Chain A
Amino acid sequence: MLSTIQRLRENFALLEESQFRGQKRVVVPREKVFEVLKFLKESCGFDMLVDVTCVDYLTYPRRPPWGRFGLVYNLLSTETGERLIVRAYCDVDSASVPSVVPLWEAANWLEREVWDMFGIRFEGHPDLRRILLPEDFEDHPLRKDYPLQGKGERHNLPVITRAEG
């Protein structure tokens, strides 16, 4: 019986494999991420998408060579209890990846959150709107080049005085 990593290695060109305290992690090319995740779901039994999140490596000293944003898919097989972390990297100008909502319905809100906070576009997402921030918010605040105190969003609100209230 081949392990998940071995089967992945046979079918796809993985950019990197690593392990930390039993957590298995693979890096796949951005163009292949949908096929890899589809293979993992349909052939390797990863029936649950635990999380989709993102890391901005803008000022990171050991910045990975594949791009600025590391998109992280956290998978779980509820039959074997096996977990796998799949990463794909993209840049600002190519900040779009295929949506995995066709595979796991759970990805819907998770991808909306990543879009909201990092501005990564998910192609084919059924409803890519902001999920946490107001609709008219203009930036993506978890990017590292966004100022910590914002760009004045928290001050541009109507003021109610005693006389008006």
Chain B
Amino acid sequence: MALGLLPGNVLITRLEALVNWCRKNSLWPMPFATACCGIELMALGASRHDVARFGAEVFRFSPRQCDLMIVAGRVVMKMMPVLQRIWQQMHEPKWCISMGACASTGGVFDTYSVVQGIDRFIPVDIYVPGCPPRPEQLIQAILDLQEKIQREGTLLGREFDEPRRNMPPRALLENPGERPLPVQPF
């Protein structure tokens, strides 16, 4: 085979695998930090936990430069249009991490203004439990996301057209009727 003629420092791979490898190791996070999870997010970027080891240290505050949105904290109904606009301003391919109980489910804030999980209104790839999650958990989320990108990523981003990924979010599947709470006499 002609392979034997190649010098020792040449590797052969598929183009998609190479692109995925590049993408997964240079995630640029967009920190959407609205609450205490944001503090853990800052700890993740600081020297002790040092997310630079995983290539995701370049926090940018312009969505045009980012490809990983980390929603850290509760999102209220007034903030949701802002979040959606920032998400739409990010370039493809892009991913989203829902960090903490509040961003994923609303957490303890089951009130009129707090959105009960951002996945009702924008796509989410990875959920991180915790209140707030430790930076190690977020590192695990980034590692899981890297694995996901390596496994299913495509050169032209065709994986985002998959029917499973385009299933309607929960807001369309279920009708979250309000449970009427009786007015408690105190």
Contacts and interface: CB of A to CB of B under 8 A. Distances in A.
Interface stretch (A40-48, A84-92, A105-113, A146-154): A146-154
Interface string A148-165: 111111110111111111
Contacts of B161: 162-163
Given A152-B178, A158-B84, A160-B84, 20 more contacts: A58-B183, A59-B184, A61-B185, A133-B78, A134-B77, A147-B178, A147-B180, A150-B111, A151-B112, A153-B77, A153-B112, A153-B113, A154-B114, A155-B176, A160-B121, A160-B122, A160-B123, A162-B160, A163-B166, A165-B122
Interface residues of A, number: 28
B115 interface: yes
- Please classify the interface of chain A as helix (H, G, I), strand (E, B), loop, or mixed, using the class held by over half of its residues: loop
Contacts of B87: 160, 165
Interface stretch (B18-26, B29-37, B167-175): B167-175
Nearest to A145: B183
Nearest to B167: A161
Interface in B145-176: 160-161, 165-166, 168-169, 171-172, 176
Contacts of A163: 160-161, 166
A155 B171 contact: yes
A38 to B, nearest CB: 35
B110 interface: yes
B123 A162 contact: yes
Contacts of A134: 77-78
